[in-house]
Structure formats: C-alpha cells, structure tokens
C-alpha cells in the first residue's frame, strides 16, 4: 500500500518522524493472508470500494447490499479494521487523500497493478515492470480502437506517467450480465473483424512466442499431465491453418457492463489483434462458469454449445461443430500456455488457480477421445489433482501413469482429508459415471465406473493395516516424496516391498511371483522388520508367528491401541458383509454359441477389475444331483452325462417329464437360498453356464417334454438373476464350431430365446435380459462387462 500511494504522490508512515506530517485514518478489508485488499478513507460516506467488486451472483449481491447497509447505518467504524497513518505530500499528488476514494491493491504477482478510484475516475497504477508494459499496451490499444467506428463503449484514457493511466468510469446505467446475449455476439463479431485473418501456424508469431515460453517453464507445481496434453496438442497443429481475430483478452462479466443495445468494456491491457477467433467468447463462458458459478466442465461445455446461438438462430460458428471444437482447442492451448507461465511466476497460488487447472484439464480431454481411453484420461487427471499434495503411490510402475494395466488398481497412502477430496474429485469428473466406496476405518476402496463401462479401482489408505495390526507408519510413507517426470509421487521402493510382503504373509498367503522383483531389496536390508519378512518368505521354521509377534510389539498395536484396532477390525468385517453383496449372472445359448469362452474371460475380468470372487455353476444350483445318480451311481452318471450329446433323450411321457421337472425345479427352489446365503451375501458373483431358461425353450435337452406355459410359470417363483445374457450367432457360424444341432433347430431355438428375453426385459424390472450376437469376442466381452458395470 505504501508503495502504491507513493506513486500517487504521498509518502506514508505508521509513525511521526518530523512532526510536520498530516494524519489520516484508513479503513481496509484484508485478503486471507492478512494483507490489505480494499483500502479507503474512513471518512467516506459511500462504499466506493464496491466499484472493484463483481456483483455476479446471489451471494455477491447480498454481500454488496450488506456493505451498503453498513454505510447507511454509519457502522463502518465499528465493523471494519482501521489504522492511522501519517503522510507528507509531493508537489503534484494524483488526488486529494482527504477526499472520497478507494484503492484495490491488486493480485500479487509479476503483473501486479493497483486500481484507485478517485475524482470519479479510475487510475491504474503499475507496481512492476510487467505491469508497466501492460498499461502501456492498454493505452495504445484503446487509442487505436477509439479511432475506428464501433458498436461498443470503451473508457476514455489519459497517460499520467509511465506507471499510471487514468480511465473514465463507464459503469453509469450499466448492469452486469452473466450470460452471453445477442449484444455480446454482435460485439464479438465486430471486434474479431477488426483484424480477422487465416494464417499458417508457422507464421503465427505470438503462438511461437507462447510455445517457447511455455516449454521453458520449470515449476514443480504445474500439473505434469496437463503439460503433456498441451505439448501433444501444440505439436499436432503445427501444419494447420488457424483463424485469428482481434481480442480484448479478458472479456469477462466483471470487465464489462451491458448498456441497452451495447456493451461497455474496460480492462484492455491484454488485448491483441492475433488471438484465435472466438477467444473472447470462450473466455467469458468458462471464466464465469469456473470463477463465479463453480460449474463442472460438462455444464460449462453445454453452455458453450448453447450460448453461441442468438435469438434469431444465427451461430457464431455457423452451426459447424468442427469449427466450434477447433476454435475451442486453440483457445485452450493459447490460454493455458499464457496463464501457466503467469502462475509459475507467482510464489503463492490462490484457490481459484486450482479450480481453473481442474477445468482446463478436463476440457482438454475433449481432444483426446481418439488417442486415449476414459480410463487413461481419468488416471492422468487423478495424479494431476493430487500432484501438490502429500501422498505415496505403492507398487506403482515408473512410467506414464495412464499406461497402467487395466487389471491393476492404484494404492495411494494419503491423509484422510486428502482422500475425501480425491473421492469428491472422482465423483465430479466428467468421464466418471459413478463411484462406489467401501469405507473402512483405515481406508477407502474406490471403484469408479467410467463412461465407457471400464473400471478404475483406487485404494486410499491413511493407515497401513493388515487385519487388526498396524504394520507401518503411514505418515512416514506419504511425506516428502519427490515428483516423477509423469507427475507421480512414488512411495520408496523398500516401503512398497515391505507392504506387499506383509499383506500376503499376514494373510497366510505366499507372495505372488509378479512381486518377486522386490525380494532382493528385502534380503539386502538390515532392518529388523525386513529380516523377519525375509526369513518368513524363506519358510524358516515358525517365522510367520514370529513376524506377527514382532509387529504386535509396535506401540501402535498395544494396550489401548490394540483394543481400538480390534474394535475397528470387527466393525470393518461386519460392514463388508452388509455392504458388499454379490449378484448372479447367467449365460444362455445353443451349443456352439461361444458361452464357455465368454464366461471364462468375464469371470477373470470380474475377479481382477471388480475385485470380487467368482463361482461358476452349470445350469442349476446342483444341491440335488442329476437324476441318474440314484440309479447309476455318481461316477457312472457323470461319465454318461459328459459323453452323451444333448437332446438325445427318448422320453415323451408327460408324467415322467413332470416328475423330472419337479425334481430339478425343487433343486432351483431350495438351491437359490443356499446360493444366496453361501455366496451372494458374502460378496461373490455367481455365474451360471446355462440357466432355468433351458427348461422354458429347450426342455428336450433335459429329456423333458412339457408345455412352455408351465415351465414359464415356474420362473415366477424363483429369485431372478441380476444379469442374463443370451449369446447367439448365425447358424452357419455355429455349425462351424459344433455340429451338435441342425440348422433349423439352431434358428428355432435362437428365435425362441430372443423372444423370451425381450418379453422378460419389457416387464420393466431392474433385471437385465440382453441378447448379444457373439461374432466378435472383444465386442461381446465389452458389451457384457459394460452392462454389468453401468447397471450395478
């Protein structure tokens, strides 16, 4: 403040030094760090500092009204901080310090400028070399713009000296508008046409300068994967033409007023004649959406596509989606390059920078739909979101994070409060359909279902535990980890080795071979815990019990902590039973439809990606054995069942068929409860290779001949599976795989199954009945897995 007012002609001091100073009482409202933000003469009768305040939302409107009320009631002396200053005056001060005035100290950084409102005009006071160049640019641009005919209003400008320019107040009879209107679109078109041109990128000098400066940025706070996206896009457009136009540069709701059929624009210091066409349009909508409305990217993107069309149906981009997306891409590239350099020069970041970085990161994903999957993009964004937080990634490979195998999950040791933030980040991400959370006393197990049905599993641990034992100090693991070139903070490798070994050994399991590369680290270590782990791995005597006893001696596992850990372990176990129920999947289809291969691969994906145990059953619960067991014995009956082709039974007797059906139906009735209590409530996924539907459409396969109405009626009394898939293919394709049925039978059964599944699906219940043409295995697997993940 003292520096700013010194430039305005006053030398301030908190104490008298010569005895000839004047005194003045100043009031102020502080920033979060305690530094003054708005300063004014305490004798002001009006809150002139509101001239700097953007009333763009309900909360800001209420704040402004409250301030005005305080001044009306003359309570400002009681409610605002005040301090008495002593000052001397230069020969030609900018304004009378004893008059009505207000000062905005500006944003800290290389472009810092103060704004003074006095004498019913604004003064911009540059406090840095960068700021001097900016106000110089604003003076030149405004003089140039005011020489041409225009349909928008700009402030009159006067250069006071190299540090100060004076601007007229253009707010009279104006109102703030937070959405693009017809008037905005007209002004944007008019401004762009002042210098509209299409050139080759290689001839675009400003872009080349931006790119050069961008590549020189060395700031560990800048999200690494955001930088990688920008680099990729900037390198991919080098041979493209680009449409440019004149741009005000900071075309936002808080830098303008709408006055009837025109717009009054101020803050022209960033104006340029060679920004991408429609830069100002994108800037207006995105800045309002992020900084004021706090919208997420999907809503902002929707606004961008809607607000570019005026009330007569005219579109800023001529209704061409490709043009819209191309200009959006150029806006994001240039704006990100510019501001990342600015942010890198700031010692402290305000919260709004984090907001902007998050939205820019998600916005750039629009241009990677062909290059990267949703899972890859979400992983990149996840690590960017926590790059400047303390955490340690366990067992994480040292390469680009998005290259992580689909069968792998992510384990992060992180503070609980940061885990909550990351959970919220995932829930808000535009590529995440939903997030399921298994909350335990020491961790969150997150499972994000993405927009394409793929899965991203993340474990967030704020305590490192196995059952009721705390095995390591989590704080020592997540503190002070360096950032890799790909923006990942890896936990020390020895920590990953210990954690992995202890997890398996304390659960009475062997360390899997894929983690054997960790063992040499443990073998070379002289740490007491590592010696116990190595001995246990080598199966030396009773080392497993000794390992557990060693860990139990940890103070965090004794006395009060022991009771606390045990109580939490019991609660976590009970929760897992109640919150982690499984479900049933059935696969139907004629022999040769490819069920076995699909079942095998889907079961593997469920185990690896959904992290659920799988049980595969054939046709029925099999609580009761096949009928022939009672006459032939178990081994002979099973051997005959394997060697006999389907649909070869000779039974045509309705009574015999009814008995056979009743026997198997009893197996379903009793078995469904056994399956439920044995597997479903324990979190298992039960997969049936064939199901009750065979009794409806292909009862001959089970040597039964009964009316369809009877077997269909019986289905009403069964617990109906969650997901039911009928796999089919053209008869000629099936016959190439298996020759067990003739073409007519295959086509007849296929038609019957399709009709049955259509009827069941149309009943309006939540159960899924889906018919899939199983020609391409990858497509089939994708459809099945996506259906399961999106619906469950």
pLDDT digits (tens, 9 = 90+) for 631-652: 655 555 455 544 555 655 667 7
Cite the DSSP H helix spans in 205-320. 205-215, 224-236, 279-287, 297-307
**pLDDT for 792:** 66
**Residue 700 pLDDT level (bands cut at 50, 70, 90):** confident
Separation between Cα atoms, residue 452 and residue 433, nearest integer Å: 9
pLDDT over threshold 50, residue 16: yes
Task: Check if the beta carbon of residue 725 is closer than 8 Å to that of residue 784.
Answer: yes
- Between the alpha carbon of residue 113 and those of residues 130, 466, 752, the distances in Å are 9, 56, 77
Are residue 616 and residue 572 in the same domain, yes or no? no
Are residue 137 and residue 190 in the same domain, yes or no? no
432: in domain: yes
Are residue 527 and residue 570 in the same domain, yes or no? yes
**pLDDT for 149:** 66
174: in domain: no
Please write the tens of the pLDDT for every residue from 287-299.
999 999 999 999 9
Are residue 354 and residue 250 in the same domain, yes or no? yes
**pLDDT for 637:** 47
pLDDT over threshold 80, residue 744: yes
Determine the structural domain holding residue 430 and report its residue range.
Answer: 374-576
Coil vs helix vs strand at 26: strand
Average pLDDT on 585-599 reads 93
**pLDDT for 18:** 79
Are residue 613 and residue 728 in the same domain, yes or no? yes
Short-list 451, 458, 456, 457, CA closest to 790? 451
Separation between Cα atoms, residue 493 and residue 737, nearest integer Å: 49
Sequence-ordered list of residues with C-beta below 8 angstroms from that of 150, at least 6 positions apart, any chain: 190
**pLDDT for 301:** 97
**Residue 204 pLDDT level (bands cut at 50, 70, 90):** very high
Are residue 269 and residue 415 in the same domain, yes or no? no
Task: Check if the beta carbon of residue 661 is closer than 8 Å to that of residue 711.
Answer: yes
Are residue 561 and residue 606 in the same domain, yes or no? no
pLDDT over threshold 60, residue 553: yes
Number of H helices, E strands in the chain: 28, 26
Are residue 570 and residue 694 in the same domain, yes or no? no
**pLDDT for 650:** 65
DSSP 517-561: GGHHHHHH---HHHHHHHHHHTT-TTHHHHHHHHHHTSGGGSHHH
**pLDDT for 640:** 52
**pLDDT for 367:** 96
> With the C-alpha atoms ordered 179, 183, 186, 187, is the resulting torsion angle positive or negative?
negative
Please write the tens of the pLDDT for every residue from 416-446.
999 999 999 999 999 999 999 999 999 999 9
pLDDT over threshold 50, residue 126: yes
Scan for tokens 């499984």, then name that residue: 582
Separation between Cα atoms, residue 35 and residue 105, nearest integer Å: 9
Sequence-ordered list of residues with C-beta below 8 angstroms from that of 282, at least 6 positions apart, any chain: 304, 327, 328, 331, 332, 335
177: in domain: no
Domain boundary among 113, 139, 168: 168
Are residue 562 and residue 589 in the same domain, yes or no? no
The edge-to-edge listing of strands for the beta sheet with 410-414 is 391-394, 410-414, 455-461, 443-450, 432-439
Average pLDDT on 41-65 reads 90
pLDDT over threshold 80, residue 759: yes
Task: Check if the beta carbon of residue 151 is closer than 8 Å to that of residue 190.
Answer: yes
Domain boundary among 367, 393, 427: 367
Separation between Cα atoms, residue 753 and residue 748, nearest integer Å: 9
**pLDDT for 539:** 77
173: in domain: no
Are residue 342 and residue 256 in the same domain, yes or no? yes
pLDDT over threshold 90, residue 2: no
Coil vs helix vs strand at 359: helix
Sequence-ordered list of residues with C-beta below 8 angstroms from that of 738, at least 6 positions apart, any chain: 591, 592
**Residue 611 pLDDT level (bands cut at 50, 70, 90):** confident
Separation between Cα atoms, residue 734 and residue 138, nearest integer Å: 75
> With the C-alpha atoms ordered 473, 476, 478, 484, is the resulting torsion angle positive or negative?
negative
Average pLDDT on 465-473 reads 94
Q: Would you give the distance in Å from CA 632 to the centre of its chain? A: 61
Separation between Cα atoms, residue 583 and residue 721, nearest integer Å: 7
Radius of gyration of the chain (CA): 35
614: in domain: yes
Sequence-ordered list of residues with C-beta below 8 angstroms from that of 726, at least 6 positions apart, any chain: 587, 588, 589, 693, 753, 754, 757, 769, 770, 771, 772
**pLDDT for 630:** 57
Are residue 116 and residue 244 in the same domain, yes or no? no
Average pLDDT on 118-147 reads 92
How many independent structural domains does the chain possess? 4
Average pLDDT on 21-42 reads 91
pLDDT over threshold 50, residue 404: yes
Express as a percent the part of the chain with pLDDT over 90.
74
Q: Quick count: other Cβ atoms within 10 Å of Cβ 92?
A: 7
Q: Quick count: other Cβ atoms within 10 Å of Cβ 73?
A: 10
Q: What is the mean pLDDT of the chain?
A: 91
249: in domain: yes
Scan for tokens 């928008």, then name that residue: 152
176: in domain: no
Q: Would you give the distance in Å from CA 443 to the centre of its chain? A: 20
Longest dimension (CA), the chain: 122
Q: Would you give the distance in Å from CA 753 to the centre of its chain? A: 41
Are residue 383 and residue 399 in the same domain, yes or no? yes
345: in domain: yes
**Residue 353 pLDDT level (bands cut at 50, 70, 90):** very high
Range in 107-111, 235-239, 520-524, 758-762 the model is least confident about: 107-111
Short-list 485, 315, 491, CA closest to 393? 491
Q: Would you give the distance in Å from CA 323 to the centre of its chain? A: 27
Short-list 152, 118, 375, 395, CA closest to 258? 152
pLDDT over threshold 80, residue 109: no
Please write the tens of the pLDDT for every residue from 505-545.
999 888 999 999 999 999 999 999 999 999 998 876 577 88
Please write the tens of the pLDDT for every residue from 374-399.
999 999 999 999 999 999 999 999 99
> With the C-alpha atoms ordered 192, 194, 197, 202, is the resulting torsion angle positive or negative?
negative
**pLDDT for 540:** 65
Scan for tokens 């999106």, then name that residue: 790
- 549 versus 629: the higher-pLDDT residue is 549
- Can you state the percent helix, strand and coil of the chain, rounding each to 5? 45, 20, 35
Please write the tens of the pLDDT for every residue from 157-168.
999 999 999 999
Task: Check if the beta carbon of residue 664 is closer than 8 Å to that of residue 715.
Answer: no
Domain boundary among 168, 194, 222: 168
**pLDDT for 35:** 87
Task: Check if the beta carbon of residue 344 is closer than 8 Å to that of residue 357.
Answer: no
**pLDDT for 633:** 55
Tell me which H or E stretch contains 713: helix 708-715
Task: Check if the beta carbon of residue 753 is closer than 8 Å to that of residue 726.
Answer: yes
Please write the tens of the pLDDT for every residue from 268-288.
999 999 999 999 999 999 999
């Amino acid at each position: 403040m003292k520096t700013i007012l010194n430039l305005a002609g006053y030398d301030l001091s908190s104490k008298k030094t010569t005895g000839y100073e004047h005194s003045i009482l100043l009031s102020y409202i502080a920033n979060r760090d305690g530094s003054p933000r708005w300063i004014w003469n305490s004798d002001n009768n009006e809150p002139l500092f509101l001239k700097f305040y953007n009333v763009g939302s309900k909360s800001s409107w209420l704040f402004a009204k409250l301030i005005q009320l305080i001044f009306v009631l003359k309570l400002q002396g009681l409610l605002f901080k005040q301090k008495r200053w002593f000052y001397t005056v230069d020969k030609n001060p900018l304004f009378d310090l004893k008059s009505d005035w207000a000062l905005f100290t500006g944003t800290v950084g290389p472009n810092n400028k103060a704004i003074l409102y006095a004498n019913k005009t604004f003064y911009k006071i540059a406090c840095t070399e960068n700021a001097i160049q900016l106000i110089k640019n604003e003076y030149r641009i405004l003089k140039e713009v005011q020489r041409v005919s225009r349909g928008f209003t700009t402030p009159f400008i006067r250069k006071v000296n190299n540090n100060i320019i004076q601007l007229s107040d253009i707010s009279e009879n104006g109102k703030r508008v937070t959405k693009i209107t017809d008037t905005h679109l007209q002004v944007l078109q008019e401004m762009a046409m002042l210098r509209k041109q299409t050139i080759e990128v290689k001839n675009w000098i400003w872009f080349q300068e931006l790119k050069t400066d961008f590549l020189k940025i060395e700031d560990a706070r800048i999200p690494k994967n955001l930088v990688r996206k920008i680099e990729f896009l900037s390198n991919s457009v080098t041979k493209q033409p680009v449409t440019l136009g004149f741009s005000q540069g900071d075309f936002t709701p808080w830098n303008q007023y709408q006055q009837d059929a025109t717009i009054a624009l101020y803050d022209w210091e960033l104006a340029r004649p060679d920004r991408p066409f429609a830069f100002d349009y994108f800037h207006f909508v995105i800045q309002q959406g992020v900084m004021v409305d706090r919208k997420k990217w999907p809503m902002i993107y929707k606004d961008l596509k809607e607000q570019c069309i005026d009330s007569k149906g005219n579109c800023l981009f001529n209704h061409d989606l490709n043009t819209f997306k191309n200009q959006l891409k150029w806006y994001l590239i240039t704006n990100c390059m510019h501001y990342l350099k600015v942010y890198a020069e700031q010692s402290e970041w305000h919260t709004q920078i984090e907001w902007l970085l998050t939205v820019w990161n998600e916005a750039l994903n629009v241009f990677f739909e062909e290059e990267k999957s949703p899972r890859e993009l979400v992983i990149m964004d996840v690590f960017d979101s926590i790059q400047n937080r303390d955490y340690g990634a366990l067992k994480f490979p040292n390469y680009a994070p998005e290259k992580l195998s689909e069968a792998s999950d992510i384990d992060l040791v992180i503070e609980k409060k940061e885990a909550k933030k990351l959970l919220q980040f995932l829930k808000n991400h535009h590529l995440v359909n939903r997030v399921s959370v298994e909350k335990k006393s020491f961790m969150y197990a997150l499972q994000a279902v993405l927009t394409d049905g793929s899965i991203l599993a993340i474990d967030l641990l704020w305590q490192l535990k196995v059952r009721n034992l705390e095995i390591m100090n989590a704080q020592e693991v997540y503190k002070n980890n360096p950032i890799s070139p790909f923006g990942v903070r890896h936990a020390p490798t020895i920590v990953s080795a210990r954690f992995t070994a202890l997890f398996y050994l304390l659960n009475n399991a062997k360390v899997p071979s894929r983690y054997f590369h960790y063992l040499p680290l443990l073998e070379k270590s002289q740490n007491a815990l590592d010696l116990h782990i190595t001995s246990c791995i080598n199966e030396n005597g009773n080392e497993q019990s000794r390992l557990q006893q060693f860990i139990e001696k940890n103070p965090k596992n004794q006395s009060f902590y022991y009771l606390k850990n045990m109580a939490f372990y019991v609660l976590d176990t009970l929760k897992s039973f109640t919150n982690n129920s499984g479900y049933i999947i059935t696969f139907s289809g004629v022999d040769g439809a490819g069920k076995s291969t699909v079942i095998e691969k889907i079961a593997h994906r469920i185990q690896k990606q959904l992290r659920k145990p799988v049980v595969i059953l054939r046709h029925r619960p099999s609580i009761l054995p096949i009928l022939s067991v009672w006459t032939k014995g178990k081994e002979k009956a099973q051997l005959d069942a394997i060697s006999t082709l389907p649909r070869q039974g000779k039974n045509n007797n309705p009574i015999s068929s009814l008995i056979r059906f009743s026997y198997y139906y009893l197996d379903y009735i009793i078995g469904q409860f056994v399956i439920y209590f044995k597997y479903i409530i324990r979190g298992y996924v039960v997969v049936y290779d064939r199901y009750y539907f065979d009794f409806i459409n292909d009862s001959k396969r089970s040597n039964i001949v009964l009316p369809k109405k009877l077997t269909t009626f019986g289905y009403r009394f069964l617990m109906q599976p969650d997901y039911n898939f009928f796999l089919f293919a053209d008869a000629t394709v099936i016959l190439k795989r298996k020759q067990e049925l003739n073409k007519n039978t295959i086509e007849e059964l296929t038609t019957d199954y399709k009709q049955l599944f259509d009827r069941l699906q149309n009943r309006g219940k939540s159960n899924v009945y889906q018919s899939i043409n199983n020609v391409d295995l990858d497509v089939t697997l994708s459809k099945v897995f996506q259906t399961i993940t999106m619906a469950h």
